[in-house]
Amino acid sequence: MLSRAAAIEAIAGQRFEVVVIGGGITGAGVALDAASRGYSVALLERGDYAEGTSSRSSKMIHGGLRYLQNLDLGLVREALLERQLMVQLAPHLVYPTPFLVPAFPEERRQRGLGIGLNMYDVMATTRVGRSRREMRSSKQEDEDFYWSPDRHRMIDRGEVLELVPSLASRDPKNAYLFFDCQTDDVRLTLTILGEAERFGATMLNGAEVVEVLEKGGRAAGVAFLEADSGERIEVEAENVVNATGVFADRIRPEEVVGEEDVPRISPSRGTHVLLDRADLSTGSAACIVPAGEGRAIFALPWYGRTLIGTTDNDFDGDIDHPRPGEEDVAYLLEAVNEFFGTSLGERDLVGAYAGVRPLISTGDPKKSVDISRKAELYETSSGMLTITGGKLTTWRRMAKQTVDRLVEREARVAPCHTAEIPLGMEARPGDLVAPQGVGEEATAQLAFRYGHAARQVLALAHEDARLAAPIVPGRPDLLAEAVVAARHEQARSVADVLLRRTRLGLLAAPQLRDAGVARAVAAAIGAELGWSRRQVKREAEAWPAAAAAAGIDQARADGEGRAG
């Protein structure tokens, strides 16, 4: 990625065919799609890339079994096809995980579940809706191109315990086993941005759009505030795309003819907590955990921790800084304790976070839990397009829908290519040469997180032994990653590195209370960005407030960082 200084120079006062507002996964997808169809593109992100909901998801690339209950068949099918495509396009970053739905002697098996899983299998095939002849001719092609999970099956007690030994005390009878996928949501967003840049898009974070410029009643660009200088900068654009997720109804041209031209967002908060695997491990499988009133949550293995989530409640709090709800944390822990027979409390948490879903309000008085997760595209009379709703999994479809509309209204011939554009480049851990002291866990993590670009991190670690050290003792993230983040990914704060380039804020929050960690990260970034010693100190000191604003450290003894 260009440095911020170079990006400002490339964007300020320039004219683009498309300007995208918002650097979450949707904006990143629109930038990639438009750039790969030949548009000149600038993308502006107010804070840091993926700082909104795209760093706060459950990190699943999935069809969404529970949407089957709402008979949202189109949404599930679409997401399942995207899931297959993502494994193909980003094999280092999107991986299948076995999911278990265990049954216990005292329970009666839910009959609907088997039917639902059968539908899930059928809908995941690329051949649904095709004639036999089409199926025959495309079978080989599909098998060559698409990853496809095994069908679900019932596994016996022995196999359940082999996959999830911590269920032993519950004496499971058997379990349904099916597959879904996991990822690192921020890394997926950054990888898509990286590809967009390869196709010529320019992106800038710390760039808050404050006005949609109009000319003759048409949206003709935007004005943004550059975070470091506070300067107001204008960019001309033939097309303006608003991809600001849960903030989408805040970006409005001066004149909106009909309220139906812009979305009304009805935010819903989802809280997650993370546990040390020594306290609770689901092995390499995920478990679906009943959580009362017919609801269910997940316990997922993620970066060597156990990720528990999520809740789904209407939210009227601060959407700029959503924090885990105290009641939500208690609800998640209670469900997990009951299921695994543990007695874990807030003090056992290694991390926590909350995200806000950009659900589109239909004016329906139903709870958000029942509102569909469909993406919606809006167009104002000024021509500004707003794309919001949807899921992490369906980013590519949302981007395609948006850029198809641009293409259609300009009567261009410019088909979408994103189904064929690899996202990053795969690297196998064994192909990476690590300096002494950097173990297998670190190399495997680097291969997952960066793919081929892991070599950049390792080159720094080879050059300077200090950068080969872990940021937090016992975790595989290297200090060299802070340097790469500042040099190649426009990271500009300790929080950018700890919350989004690495995910240490979610995985090791109590260890980040040690001021030395923030100091080391600030020094590494500062050396890249030319910070004075005073600025390094100031940036390190800003970390505890950033951590508290995100509510990652629920285990903090004094209760700081909790929210209602």
Ligand X SMILES: Cc1cc2nc3c(=O)[nH]c(=O)nc-3n(C[C@H](O)[C@H](O)[C@H](O)COP(=O)(O)OP(=O)(O)OC[C@H]3O[C@@H](n4cnc5c(N)ncnc54)[C@H](O)[C@@H]3O)c2cc1C
- Residues of the shown chain interacting with ligand X in the complex, contacts defined by CB under 6 A: 21-27, 44-47, 50-54, 56-60, 62, 208-209, 243-247, 251, 270, 310, 355-358, 388, 390-393
Q: Which is nearer to ligand X, 331 or 531 (CB)?
A: 331
Taking CA atoms, 274 is separated from 57, 109, 280, 326, in Å, by 13, 29, 10, 14
Least CB distance to ligand X at residue 443 (A): 27
Least CB distance to ligand X at residue 187 (A): 13
Least CB distance to ligand X at residue 97 (A): 12
Q: What are the tokens at 491?
A: 């990271």
Q: Which is nearer to ligand X, 172 or 324 (CB)?
A: 324
Q: Which is nearer to ligand X, 16 or 247 (CB)?
A: 247
Closest by Cα among 451, 394, 390, 457 to 423: 451
CA distance 171 to 404: 53
Closest by Cα among 323, 288, 292, 294 to 308: 288
Least CB distance to ligand X at residue 106 (A): 31
Q: Which is nearer to ligand X, 101 or 360 (CB)?
A: 360
Q: Which is nearer to ligand X, 27 or 263 (CB)?
A: 27
Q: Which is nearer to ligand X, 126 or 393 (CB)?
A: 393
Least CB distance to ligand X at residue 153 (A): 24
- Contact between residue 88 and residue 146 where contact means Cβ atoms under 8 Å apart: yes
Least CB distance to ligand X at residue 177 (A): 19
Least CB distance to ligand X at residue 558 (A): 26
Per DSSP, helices labelled H in 3-108 are 4-11, 25-36, 65-69, 73-89
Least CB distance to ligand X at residue 422 (A): 20
CA distance 378 to 240: 12
Q: Which is nearer to ligand X, 52 or 263 (CB)?
A: 52
CA distance 357 to 389: 8
Consecutive H or E run containing 275 = strand 268-276
**DSSP sequence for 298-361:** EEEEETTEEEEE---EE--S-TTS---BHHHHHHHHHHHHHHHT----GGGEEEEEEEEE-PBP
Q: Which is nearer to ligand X, 57 or 125 (CB)?
A: 57
Q: Directed axis angle between helix 395-410 and helix 73-89, to 10°?
A: 100
Q: Which is nearer to ligand X, 185 or 238 (CB)?
A: 185
| Lookup result for tokens 């689901």 | 282
Q: Which is nearer to ligand X, 172 or 221 (CB)?
A: 221
Least CB distance to ligand X at residue 101 (A): 17
Consecutive H or E run containing 174 = strand 174-182
The burial of 59, by beta-carbon neighbours within 10 Å (0-12 exposed, 13-18 middle, 19 or more buried), is given as buried
CA distance 315 to 137: 50
Least CB distance to ligand X at residue 542 (A): 18
Taking CA atoms, 288 is separated from 120, 165, 250, 336, 391, in Å, by 16, 15, 36, 10, 20
> Coil, helix or strand for 481?
helix
Q: Which is nearer to ligand X, 206 or 526 (CB)?
A: 206
Least CB distance to ligand X at residue 320 (A): 8
- What does DSSP say about strands 207-215 and 286-290: parallel, antiparallel, or unpaired? unpaired
Least CB distance to ligand X at residue 481 (A): 21
CA distance 4 to 13: 15
Q: Which is nearer to ligand X, 184 or 481 (CB)?
A: 184
Length of the chain: 564
Q: Which is nearer to ligand X, 265 or 504 (CB)?
A: 265
Q: Which is nearer to ligand X, 86 or 498 (CB)?
A: 86
Least CB distance to ligand X at residue 173 (A): 28
Tell me the backbone φ, ψ of residue 441, rounded to 5 degrees.
-60, -40
Taking CA atoms, 123 is separated from 54, 72, 76, 359, 540, in Å, by 26, 12, 8, 24, 49
3-state helix, strand, coil in the chain (%, to 5): 40, 20, 35
Least CB distance to ligand X at residue 81 (A): 13
